[in-house]
Amino acid sequence: MGTSTHIAPIQKSSHLQKSKHTQNTCPIQANAKPAPVHLPPKEQARKSSINTAIAKPFVKWAGGKSQLLNKVQKVLPQDLASRKNITYVEPFVGGGAVLFWILQTYPNIKRAIINDINQELISTYLAIQNDVENLIQELLKFQQEYISLAPTERSLYFLEKRQAFNKKDVAPTRLAALFIFLNRTCFNGLYRVNAKGYFNVPHGKYANPKIADESNLRACSRLLQKVEILCGDFEQTSRYASRNSIFYLDPPYKPLSTTSAFTSYTRQGFDDTEQIRLGTFCQKIARKGALFIESNSDPKNINPKDTFFDSLYETFSIQRVSANRMINSNAAKRGAISELLISNVENV
Ligand X SMILES: C[S@@+](CC[C@H](N)C(=O)[O-])C[C@H]1O[C@@H](n2cnc3c(N)ncnc32)[C@H](O)[C@@H]1O
Cβ burial of 12 (10 Å; 0-12, 13-18, 19+) is: middle
Q: Identify whether the C-beta of residue 238 lies closer than 8 Å to the C-beta of residue 285.
A: yes
If we measure between CA atoms, which residue out of 1, 3, 26, 66 comes closest to residue 231? Answer: 3
In the range 58-97, which residues lie near ligand X by CB under 6 A? 61, 63-65, 91-92, 94-95, 97
Give me the least distance between CB of 158 and ligand X, in Å please: 22
Give me the least distance between CB of 262 and ligand X, in Å please: 9
Size of the site for ligand X (CB under 6 A): 22
Closer by beta carbon to ligand X, 146 or else 270: 270
Q: If binding is defined by CB under 6 A, does position 290 make contact with ligand X?
A: no
Closer by beta carbon to ligand X, 59 or else 81: 59
Give me the least distance between CB of 84 and ligand X, in Å please: 26
Q: Which residue is nearest to ligand X (CB)?
A: 94
> How many whole angstroms separate alpha carbon 103 and alpha carbon 108?
8
Closer by beta carbon to ligand X, 68 or else 80: 68
Closer by beta carbon to ligand X, 133 or else 235: 235
Which residues, listed in sequence order, are joined to residue 199 by a DSSP beta bridge? 193
Closer by beta carbon to ligand X, 91 or else 255: 91
Of 182-190, 204-212, 265-273, 283-291, the segment contacting ligand X by CB under 6 A is 265-273
Residue type at position 329: S
Q: Identify whether the C-beta of residue 76 lies closer than 8 Å to the C-beta of residue 110.
A: no
> How many whole angstroms separate alpha carbon 237 and alpha carbon 323?
28
In this chain, which of 138, 250, 294, 339 binds ligand X, going by CB under 6 A? Answer: 250
Q: Identify whether the C-beta of residue 54 lies closer than 8 Å to the C-beta of residue 212.
A: no
Task: Please provide the distance, in angstroms rounded to a whole number, between the alpha carbons at the two ends of the chain.
Answer: 38
Give me the least distance between CB of 90 and ligand X, in Å please: 7
**Helices (H) then strands (E): counts for the chain:** 12, 7
Give me the least distance between CB of 270 and ligand X, in Å please: 5
If we measure between CA atoms, which residue out of 227, 229, 216 comes closest to residue 172? Answer: 229
Give me the least distance between CB of 4 and ligand X, in Å please: 10
Give me the least distance between CB of 314 and ligand X, in Å please: 23
> How many whole angstroms separate alpha carbon 134 and alpha carbon 172?
11
Q: If binding is defined by CB under 6 A, does position 117 make contact with ligand X?
A: yes
Closer by beta carbon to ligand X, 106 or else 146: 106
Give me the least distance between CB of 160 and ligand X, in Å please: 25
Closer by beta carbon to ligand X, 4 or else 137: 4
Going by DSSP bridges, is the β-strand pair 111-116/291-297 parallel, antiparallel, or unpaired? unpaired
Going by DSSP bridges, is the β-strand pair 227-231/317-325 parallel, antiparallel, or unpaired? unpaired
- Residue 36 host element (H or E): none
Q: If binding is defined by CB under 6 A, does position 118 make contact with ligand X?
A: yes
Residue ranges in contact with ligand X by CB under 6 A: 61, 63-65, 91-92, 94-95, 97-98, 115-118, 233-234, 250-252, 265-266, 270
